């Protein structure tokens, strides 16, 4: 269960409303890097977690925090849209549709949201749950969460570069700080699980003995350049302590040339195995009927 406080999770202050920046902030709400993504991701990872309760609590507590971040950003969008209609009239291009296409007000902020944020990205594309990673495996989820926070923090840094509004800068620095902690806490879970357990998801499956060599070999597919001999992934012990990195170059094909059975005529593949035109049973029937009714010359 979630409880709502009237006070925001962090102060939102906009010194000069900017509808263009409001549109940019939408990416941090509904984009694949945004807060709706991590909120939903942590929530469903937590709902389905079957292990120690402390990890479930961590996931759901962080999901709850991300709800607050969505509210903070939605408020920032709304505050940046205040007065947007009059600003559009004052611009040289006074036609709202034309101005929108040139990078001003996102039309749906006015038409759909009534000067409010929307569950969509900066291009107006609705948020998709397809962005969400819920692997049902603690190790896989923690790694997905680290990646989600890493790209989210990168987006916040890019947004920080795009504004000179002191209030927006302060809000983004707060979000960057929280993304720092979230990356660190997911990494801390992996460290707590230990390298042997947490290095390779799902963690409870060993490689087959005859695949041990392939499990730690770097396949170099760059045919015109050798693999770097001093790279961490080409030599030395593996991170799970169960193998030694090696290089196979050029990358060897380990299978056979495919030899598929011919397609049946009804697939209409064009030619059969002998290279002749393939005809389905219906095609042969129609041809036969046609031959019977066609007058002979």
| Residue ranges per structural domain of the chain | 19-197, 206-254, 262-291
Which contiguous run of DSSP H or E holds residue 219?
Answer: strand 217-219
Say if residues 84 and 115 touch (Cβ distance below 8 Å). Answer: yes
Cα–Cα distance for residue pair 131/152, rounded to 1 Å: 13
The answer to whether 29 touches 70, Cβ cutoff 8 Å, is yes
Closest CA to 144 of 133, 156, 155, 131: 133
CB 42 within 8 A of CB 152: no
The fold of the 19-197 domain, in CATH, is: Ferritin (1.20.1260)
- pLDDT tens, the chain, 297 aa long: 788 999 999 999 999 999 999 999 999 999 999 999 999 999 999 999 999 999 999 999 999 999 999 999 999 999 999 876 554 544 434 555 445 444 567 888 888 998 999 999 999 999 999 999 999 999 999 999 999 999 999 999 999 999 999 999 999 999 999 999 999 999 999 999 987 777 888 888 899 999 999 999 999 999 889 999 899 999 999 988 899 999 999 888 899 999 988 888 888 888 766 667 666 666 555 555 556 655 554
Counting beta carbons within 10 angstroms of the beta carbon of residue 38, is it exposed (0 to 12), middle (13 to 18) or buried (19 or more)? buried
pTM beyond 0.85: the answer is no
């Amino acid at each position: 269960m979630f409880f709502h406080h009237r006070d925001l999770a962090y102060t939102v202050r906009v010194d000069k409303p900017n509808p263009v920046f409001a549109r940019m902030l939408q990416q941090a709400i509904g984009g694949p890097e945004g807060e709706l993504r991590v909120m939903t991701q942590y929530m469903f990872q937590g709902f389905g977690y079957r292990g120690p309760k402390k990890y479930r609590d961590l996931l759901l507590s962080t999901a709850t925090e991300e709800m607050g971040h969505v509210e903070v950003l939605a408020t920032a969008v709304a505050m940046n849209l205040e007065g947007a209609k009059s600003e559009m009239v004052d611009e040289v291009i006074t036609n709202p549709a034309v101005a929108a296409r040139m990078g001003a007000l996102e039309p749906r902020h006015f038409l759909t949201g009534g000067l409010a944020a929307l569950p969509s990205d900066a291009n107006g594309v609705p948020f998709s749950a397809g962005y969400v990673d819920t692997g049902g495996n603690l190790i896989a989820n923690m790694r997905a969460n680290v990646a989600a926070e890493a790209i989210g923090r990168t987006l916040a840094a890019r947004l920080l570069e795009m504004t000179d509004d002191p209030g927006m800068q302060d809000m983004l620095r707060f979000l960057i700080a929280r993304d720092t902690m979230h990356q660190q806490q997911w990494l801390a879970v992996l460290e707590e699980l230990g390298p042997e357990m947490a290095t390779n998801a799902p963690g409870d499956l060993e490689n087959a003995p005859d695949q041990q060599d392939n499990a730690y070999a770097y396949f170099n597919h760059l045919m015109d350049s050798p693999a770097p001999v001093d790279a961490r992934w080409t030599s030395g012990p593996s991170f799970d302590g169960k193998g030694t990195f090696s290089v196979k170059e050029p990358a060897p094909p380990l299978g056979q040339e495919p030899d598929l059975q011919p397609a049946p005529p009804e697939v209409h593949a064009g030619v059969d195995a002998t290279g002749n035109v393939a005809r389905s049973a219906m095609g042969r029937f129609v041809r036969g009927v046609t031959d019977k009714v066609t007058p002979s010359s």
